[in-house]
Each structure stands twice: as structure tokens, then as C-alpha cells.
Amino acid sequence: MPKDTAYSNSEITEQMKELPTWRVEAGALVRHFETDGWPTTLMLVNMIGYFAEAADHHPDLAVSWSKVAVKLSTHSAGGITGKDFALARLLDQWALWRPESGGALGGSPRPFVKAGTWKS
């Protein structure tokens, strides 16, 4: 298996255009999610864990009652790689997923999970 190579600053800047809710912090991709409370936080963490384990790429998580901070980097490459961007896109796609309006799945009337603006 080829070794992952950390992206250059210009490659990171280009990839970040697709992930406006993520930021680069201390050599990692960072994103905060806010939830409506502990049960939803646990569901979100389990979803992140499921995808991370399936991808064999594991983020650092900071978890509290209504907040989850996700930090992605490829330690073996010493920085941010394509693995990090791929997992970030996957998390964005599913963590904030909602049923189509008027579809068979009615959806929760609660805010559930949203992009966070808090800082750790």
C-alpha cells in the first residue's frame, strides 16, 4: 500500500473550497457540530465512528453534552491528505442529512444536528 502524502498549502486551500464549514487548525481539518442534547450527540459520535472505522481512518473527537468537535489529519503522513478530505465530505453528507420535504420520511421537527460555531 502506498504511503499517503501530506497536501501542500495550495492543495489544501483548493480542497477547502469544497468544505466551507471546515477550517485548518494546527495541521488538521477541524469541524464543530452542535446537537440538541446528549442522546443526539451520542448518535452523531456513533455515526462518525462507524464511517471512520469502515474507512480505517480515525479522527480525534472532543465530545460534550451538545457538541462534537472533529479533527482530521493523517498522522503517518504528518499532515492533511486526501483521506482527511474524503472523510470530511462523507461526514458533512451524512451528519447533516435530512429527509426530502414531503417525502416518505417525515423527518424530525427538532434542529437535531447543525453546523457549530463554537470554539473549543
pLDDT in tens, the chain (120 residues): 567 899 999 999 999 999 999 999 999 999 999 999 999 999 999 999 999 999 999 999 999 999 999 999 999 999 999 999 999 999 999 987 877 778 888 777 766 677 666 554
Residue 118 one-letter amino acid: W
- Residue of 53, 37, 35, 46 whose CA lies nearest to 96: 35
With respect to residue 11, please indicate whether it lies within any of the assigned structural domains: no
With respect to residue 63, please indicate whether it lies within any of the assigned structural domains: yes
With respect to residue 104, please indicate whether it lies within any of the assigned structural domains: no
Q: What CATH number should be reported for the domain holding residue 51?
A: 3.30.1360.20
Specify the number of domains making up the chain.
1
Please tell me the predicted confidence (pLDDT) of residue 111. Answer: 66
Please tell me the predicted confidence (pLDDT) of residue 19. Answer: 96
HEC assignment per residue over the chain: CCCCCCCCHHHHHHHHCCCCCCEEECCEEEEEEEECCHHHHHHHHHHHHHHHHHHCCCCEEEEECCEEEEEECECCCCECCHHHHHHHHHHHHHHCCCCCCCCCCCCCCCCCEEECCCCC
Question: What would you measure as the largest C-alpha separation in the chain, in angstroms?
Answer: 46
Query: In which domain, by residue range, is 69 found?
Result: 23-97
With respect to residue 49, please indicate whether it lies within any of the assigned structural domains: yes
Please tell me the predicted confidence (pLDDT) of residue 100. Answer: 77
Please tell me the predicted confidence (pLDDT) of residue 97. Answer: 80
Please tell me the predicted confidence (pLDDT) of residue 16. Answer: 97
With respect to residue 113, please indicate whether it lies within any of the assigned structural domains: no
pTM for the complete prediction?
0.86
With respect to residue 103, please indicate whether it lies within any of the assigned structural domains: no
